[in-house]
Amino acid sequence: MKQVSSLWQWAGFGLCTLGGTILHFLYDWTGGNIWAAPFSAVNESTWEHMKLLFWPLFLFALVQRLFFREQKNYWCVKLAEILLGLILIPVLFYTYNGAFGKSPDWVNIGIFYIAAAAVFLFEWWVFRMERLRCKYPWIAFAAICLIGALFVVFTFSPPEIPLFQPPLT
């Protein structure tokens, strides 16, 4: 599928950044509703900000899959791009904070947008160049679902490590 339209990547970037922005405030908007907690940021930890990218990417992937049925490597590409985004957020955040100290809010927002842009540039490149081979796409899909389950579990029972703690504590 060398003729992948960049329209998908633009739509994905727009929807995922909009969705992540909404999810950032959803928990507070709902008055701390327990049903919003697994999908939205319940505090300002890096982990919770990773969740803001994961859920929109996952939902967009489910919709996009309806149009990418002929892509045998679809779920492997999606797993790779989700992992890329989830790795970029803490790497950029902790690198910036290590180099310059506490980051202002506009830098944190920029990190989220950079990670989202990188994800969709990666997707465009992989689909266009057909670089990723996938022998067992169902394993990739299961791994994505496992990541989602970890976001839910660690929302309610976070490990005692800095990734899961708000930067103020």
What per-residue confidence (pLDDT) applies to 97? 86
The reply to whether 169 falls in a domain is no
Each residue's pLDDT tens digit, 95-150: 998 888 888 889 889 999 999 999 999 998 888 887 677 888 899 999 999 999 99
For 133, the domain range is: 6-164
Task: Calculate ∠ Cα 136-49-4, nearest 5°.
Answer: 45
Q: Name the pTM for this structure.
A: 0.90
With respect to residue 1, please indicate whether it lies within any of the assigned structural domains: no
State pLDDT tens for residues 27-79.
999 999 999 999 999 998 999 999 999 999 999 999 999 998 888 889 999 99
Q: How many domains does the chain have?
A: 1
Regarding predicted confidence, which is higher, 167 or 146? 146
Q: What residue has token string 């405030």?
A: 25
User: Cα(first)–Cα(last) distance of the chain, in Å?
Assistant: 48
